[in-house]
Amino acid sequence: MSPKKILILAVVLAAVVAFFAFDLGRYFSLDFVKQSQAQFNALFAEHPVTVTLAYFAIYVAVTALSLPGAAIMTLAAGAGFGLVLGTIVVSFASTLGATLAMLVARYLLRDNIEARFGRRLADVNKGVEREGAFYLFTLRLIPAIPFFVLNLVMGLTRMKTRTFFWVSQVGMLAGTVAYVYAGTELAKIDSLGSILSPGLIGAFVLLGIFPLLARRIVDMVQRRKVFARWNDQRPATFDRNLVVIGAGAGGLVASYIAAAVKAKVTLVEAHKMGGDCLNFGCVPSKALIRTARLQHQIRHAERYGFTEATATFSFKQVMARIHQVIADIAPHDSIERYTSLGVDVRPGYATIVNPWTVEIRADDGSTSRLTTRNIVIAAGARPFVPPLPGLDDVGYVTSDTLWDSFAQLDEMPRRIVVLGGGKVLADGSVQEVMAVDDPWIESYFASRHSVPAVDGA
C-alpha cells in the first residue's frame, strides 16, 4: 500500500477511534436533541449561515466516515431547520458524504480487490455499466441495505462518480423528506399529550409506509422500463386472464388454480399432457422402482422371515406394466378433465408475440392469437444429445424415448451406460433395471437405501 493510502487510512481510523473513545455518540441521541433544541434555535437565529454550514460539515463527516448518527441528525435537521431547509441541508450533505465514502473505499480497496477477484468483478462491472444506476436508485429508495455498506460496495465497482452522486441524490430524497418531516413533528413534543398529536402520528405512519410506497414505485419503474418497447401494442381489453404454456406438472397446477378462482385460462401443450412427470419421469421411473424393489425383497425373503421364496420376471411384462400405469394416471392429466374444470386446452405450439399476446399454431397449421394479462411459461426442456463421434452409428435412447424403446425389447439390456446426471435418468430408474439381474449392482443400490418404496405406482 502506498504512503498516501496509508495516510488516508490512518486518518479515517483515527477519526473513528476518536468518535468512540471520547463517547461522541452521546450527542447523537433523541434526548440530546430535545435538551439542546432551545439553545440550537437561539444560536441558529443569531448565526443562521454559520450554524447551517457547520451542521452541513458535521453531517458530511458522519456520513463519509460511516459513523452512527445520520438518522438522528436527519431528525434533528427537521427540528432545527424546518422541513424545507432541513431537507436541502440533509439531502446534499448525505449525498456528498456518501460520495466521499465511496471514493475513499475505491481509492483504498478497489485495486487490491480487483487484483484478487478481477474475473468476478469484470462481470459485476458489466452489469453496473448496463444497469448500475437503476439498481443503485432501487437500493437508495428502499433502505434494505445499510447505506454505508452500499457506499463501500459501489466503491469497488467502476461506476462513475457523477452517476453515483446524482442517483444517490435522487434516490435518498424521498426518505430524507420523510425523516426531516418526522423531525419537525418531534420538535413539537412538550408534553405527554403532544405525543399523540395528529402531526406526529402522521410522521411515524409516513416512516412506516415509506418502504412499501418505495417498493411500489420501484416496481412501477421496472415495469415501465421492461414494457416500454411494447407500449403501443398493449391491448385495451384481454381475451384471457392467464395463458399457460406447457401442460407438465407446473403448467397443470397453474391452470387448475386459475380455473378454481374462476379466471379465464388457456393451456397450450405441443406434445403430451402431463409432460415429463407423467410420460417420461416420475410415473414410469417409480413404477419400475416398485417392481425392482419387489424383486429385491423376494431375493432376500429370509430377512422378512420366509424360509424360501423365488420369482422370475418378464422384462416385456415389466415394461407393459409401466405403460399401463401411465395409461391409468393419464385421465387425471387429460384434455377432457381440464376442459371439465374450466380450462381452455389447446394442443399446439405457442409463440409469445409481446407481453400480452400469444400466438398458437395448431397441428393442422392454423394459427390463432389470444391477448392475456399474464403468461406462465412452463414449457419444460428436452434431452440434449452431445455431438459424440460414432453416437449415431451405435444408437442411443434419451429420457423421452427410453420407455417406448424398451417396450419393444423381449429381454432386458445386459449393460447400460448413462450419460448425464439429470433427475430423469439419475434417480435410480435405469440403475434399478440393472439391479434386477446384476448381484453386485443390486447389493450396491440396496446398501445405499436411496430408492424409496412407492406402493401406489
Q: Check: CATH 1.20.120.160 for 234-273+334-380?
A: no
Strand partners of residue 163: none
Q: For residue 361, what pLDDT is reported?
A: 94
pLDDT of residue 422: 61
Mention every residue, 6+ apart, whose C-beta is less than 8 A from residue 183: 74, 75, 76, 77, 78, 79, 86
Q: Where are the domains of the chain?
A: 3-229, 234-273+334-380, 275-327+382-457
Q: What is the pLDDT along the chain (457 residues), one digit of tens a residue?
A: 678 888 888 888 888 888 888 888 888 887 888 788 888 889 999 999 999 999 999 999 999 988 888 888 988 898 889 889 999 999 999 999 999 999 998 888 887 777 776 666 676 677 677 777 777 777 777 666 677 888 888 888 888 898 899 989 988 887 888 888 888 877 665 544 444 456 656 666 666 666 667 667 777 777 787 787 888 888 889 999 999 999 998 999 999 999 999 999 999 999 899 988 898 888 998 999 898 889 888 988 888 888 888 888 888 999 999 999 999 999 999 999 999 999 999 999 999 999 999 999 998 889 999 999 999 999 888 888 888 888 888 888 888 888 888 888 888 888 888 877 665 544 444 333 333 334 433 443 444 334 333 333 4
pLDDT digit string (tens) for 4-56? 888 888 888 888 888 888 888 888 887 888 788 888 889 999 999 999 999 99
- Full-model pTM: 0.56
d(CA 22, CA 70): 18
